[in-house]
Chains A and B, each alone.
Chain A
Amino acid sequence: MFFYYLRLARISILRHWGLSLLMVTAIALGIGAAMTTVTVNYLMSADPIPSKSHALHTIQLDNWDESNPFKEGLEPPPFLTYRDAKNLLSAKKAQRQTMHTAAKAVIEPLAEEDLPLYVTVRANTADFFTMFETPFVYGGPWQKEVDDNNDLVVVLSEKINERLFAGENSVGKSIKINGDLYKVVGVLANWQPKPRFYHVDKVKAFDDSEDIFLPFTAITRKKINFDDNSYCWGPTTDNWQDYLNSECAWVHFWVEFNSPAEKQQYRDFLNGYVEEQRLYGRFKRPNDNRINTLEQWFKAREVINKDNNMLMAMAFLFLGVCLLNTVGLLLAKFLGKSPEIGLRQALGASKSTLFYQYMVESACIGVMGGLLGLLFTYLGLAGIEVLYGEKMKALVTLDAQLVIFAILLSVAATVIAGLYPTWRACNVAPANQLKSQ
């Protein structure tokens, strides 16, 4: 019977091809718009490190000015001062902890004929690699002692290793920055978490990870300059050492916990730490120590921008209009068939049979709308890539899950849209229809 109904549906759809085309296109447009925005949001909010996302946290402390809050009633500065980061790091109260910041540098040519190479730098402490599970092809993280003993070492990204050492195992070789030689201890495999969770904000959330990784001491010893957001209050500093001791917040600080109990302990520790610092006349504002999960952090840093959420709301309303459109048209179409339905009922077709038949027809339109909608989604994503540029590249791919979701959404939408018209059509009084024939 199902195939017979399919055939009937085909005949009916083709007979009113203009109307059918209108319905299919409307559904497809609605699905296309909704799926495009859903895809972008879904990929933007994807978990960049599923194995660790529950364990990783970033810390905020409110070291700000008593009379001029950082953001009134909203939040403390997003980063820590170097002093606090250093103190928390050496306290070692979490399973693992790391501090890091961004920098830029130029790798100087070792041979006369080579060209200098401009690179982006992450300056971090040793736990960075284990905490964030960076994959290594050669070597590994530097020893923890490096963070204290000022050794000049470097971990290269795959790209830079390819560029400088033709992709060969470069562990033990050296690169030169600002006249200093840094010994390569490891080479990363391609590592591009999206969003780049360890350093996210409005504009940088989907940037690539850095070209090279240096010990944090390269920054503190002024071997290279950091190049990252820094929020300051208090007296302007005259030299680098003063800056390190100032209330300027610029150090990203991350911790890893294995259990909620550890997190609670850490909270207690932070409260104690702030109390202790108050003895030195710091932290004059009320306690606002924050231990952010990735999710909380992404939200605070507006990783998914407002525009995308707004566009998604609009797209779903648009889908609503398209579905109402379909309901109206299906209603008109099925009511137009009242004489035929009356005749069939008179000849003995039950209401459920008729219902089944017309639902098959609705679903057919839904599936076609869904398939065309997928094409529109694909075009929509291509359009988004053009509009937003390179950065969105990783965010505009459809995966199997999304394709299935799109088809299910369209079929479900049309079946729901078809329910009322079908029900109305099956409730015609046969006698009336037959009389008017």
Chain B
Amino acid sequence: MLELGLIVRALLRHKMAALIIALQIALTLTVLVNAVFMIQDRQASMARDTGVNETDTFYLTSRVFAPGYDYQSEIPKDLDLLRHTPGIIDAVYINSVPLSGYGGYQRLQLQPGKDQSSIIAGDYLSDDHLLNTLELELIAGENFQPEDVLIQDSNSAQLPAKIIVSRAMAAQLYPDNWQRALGSTVYVDENVPLKITGIVKTLQGAWHFWDQVEATIITPVISLTDAGIYLIRTEPGRRDELMPEVEALLAHSNKNRIIRSVTTLQDTRDESYREHNATNKILLLVVVTLVLVTAFGIVGLATFGINRRTRQIGTRRALGATKGQIMRYFMVENSLITLAGIALGAIGAVALNIYLVETFAMTPVTPDLIVYGAIAVFVLGQLAVLYPARKAALISPATATRMV
């Protein structure tokens, strides 16, 4: 059956050539599996939902430079102006923008007092318009009321009575049942109580690379600083048209400041994941060229093997072997070599993964990826050998005998 014994004996006569292809296939599988795994890993982290409307939202920084600027009245004035501008759905003054890399955090603890364990949460300081501006989905409790909002200097330590938390944060506080968070009291600064009055489905924090990015809270505080951020959501499709208009509007309404970095949330996301994107593209390129190099290598080696054995092939044909049998010979030969390579490569893939896990704190690769990789490499080998095998099958018995 399949002339296995014959093929193995023939292979053993040229073991180095076979070994080299097997090694190449092993290394290919090793790199392939790990590269694809890394790509998936990054893709998964980029695919996480921020929970906010990213398409229609942009923001800008208002950098105040004149001494004696009256923040208390100027900021509400700005907000009023923005919220009444046609095309703008809602706008807020906020301390930080999701995924922007700049933001604040707060430590929450379930019990008051010193020496209690605490959970860190990304902290958005804004007002009762934030949910509407970011189009956050409130899944429990209620939004803030205007009177809940504290307006104060950024150095002030006064805290409001209520906060809204993300579901991920709620689940961290109450791992058994996140719904218990609603209405419960948490403490900051050891013993300052805050009541959780609302839970939003998803809201990512400022740092995409932080494993706590999903754990966020919204504090109803307008924190007055000389570099405040206005976050603005427009009607669908009007963002790009409104960006320069809003910039000009604010710049003209008060000359004691510079309006800077007018940026869309989409650009912020792209900038934030730029490295991930770049790495993925490079890895993809590596995978594609790797597959091509290996495929062409197999074609080249098989062609040479066949050229060397032209006479034997001719003889076999003369003795009655069909074209199909000749082709089968080379396909089976290739599959034997590939299987050896795959066995070695699977070990290599796991070894490389262990190294990457230990050195770069990556997550371990899943076994099914190795299986898929092995199947892909096997198919690749068979496809690559198809053309040379067909050429071998076309060798006529007469050519072979003439060559003597």
Tell me the A residues contacting B by CB distance below 8 Å: 19, 22, 25-26, 29, 33, 66-68, 104-106, 108, 116, 118, 177-179, 202-203, 225, 227, 233-240, 243, 305-307, 309-311, 313-315, 317-318, 320-322, 324-325, 327-329, 331-333, 335-336, 383-384, 387-389, 420, 424
Contact = CB atoms under 8 A, between A and B. Distances in A.
A203 B101 contact: yes
Contacts of B286: 33, 314-315, 318
A383 B283 CA distance: 13
Contact of A314 (B24, B63, B283): B283
Given A324-B24, A331-B17, A384 B360 contact: no
B156 to A, nearest CB: 6
B65 to A, nearest CB: 3
A225 B116 CA distance: 33
A327 B359 CA distance: 31
Contacts of A315: 286
A311 B283 contact: yes
B65 A22 contact: no
Contact of B27 (A22, A313, A324): A324
Interface string B329-352: 000000000000000000000001
22 contacts: A22-B297, A106-B64, A177-B65, A178-B65, A203-B101, A233-B107, A236-B157, A236-B159, A236-B192, A237-B155, A238-B156, A243-B155, A309-B359, A311-B283, A313-B352, A314-B34, A321-B24, A325-B293, A328-B20, A332-B305, A388-B278, A420-B16
Interface centre among A310, A320, A328, A389 (most CB of B within 10 A): A328
Given A22-B296, A325-B294, A336-B304, A67 B275 contact: no
A243 B67 CA distance: 22
B155 A332 contact: no
Given A238-B155, A384-B278, A116 B65 contact: yes
A118 B63 contact: yes
Contacts of B361: 306
A291 B21 CA distance: 51
B282 A311 contact: yes
Sort A-B residue pairs by CB-CB distance and give the 6 closest, nearest first: A332-B304, A106-B65, A387-B278, A179-B67, A236-B157, A325-B297
B290 A318 contact: yes
Nearest to A229: B102
Given A106-B258, A321-B293, 11 more contacts: A67-B117, A68-B107, A116-B65, A116-B258, A179-B67, A225-B227, A240-B155, A306-B360, A324-B297, A328-B301, A333-B304
B297 A26 contact: yes
A329 B279 contact: no
Given A179-B67, A203-B101, A332 B301 contact: yes
Contacts of A317: 27, 30-31, 352
A221 to B, nearest CB: 13
B293 A331 contact: no
Interface centre among B38, B297, B305, B352 (most CB of A within 10 A): B297
A313 B90 CA distance: 48
A420 B352 CA distance: 27
A67 B189 contact: no
B387 interface: no
Contact of B226 (A29, A225, A318, A383): A225
B356 interface: yes
A25 to B, nearest CB: 8
A104 B227 contact: yes
Given A116-B258, A179-B66, A237-B157, A328 B21 contact: yes
B24 A305 contact: no
Given A236-B157, A328-B301, A420-B16, A314 B258 contact: no
Given A309-B360, A324-B24, A26 B293 contact: yes
Contacts of A332: 17, 300-301, 304-305
Contact of A22 (B24, B35, B281, B300): B300
B308 interface: yes
A420 B226 CA distance: 70
B248 to A, nearest CB: 15
B279 A311 contact: yes
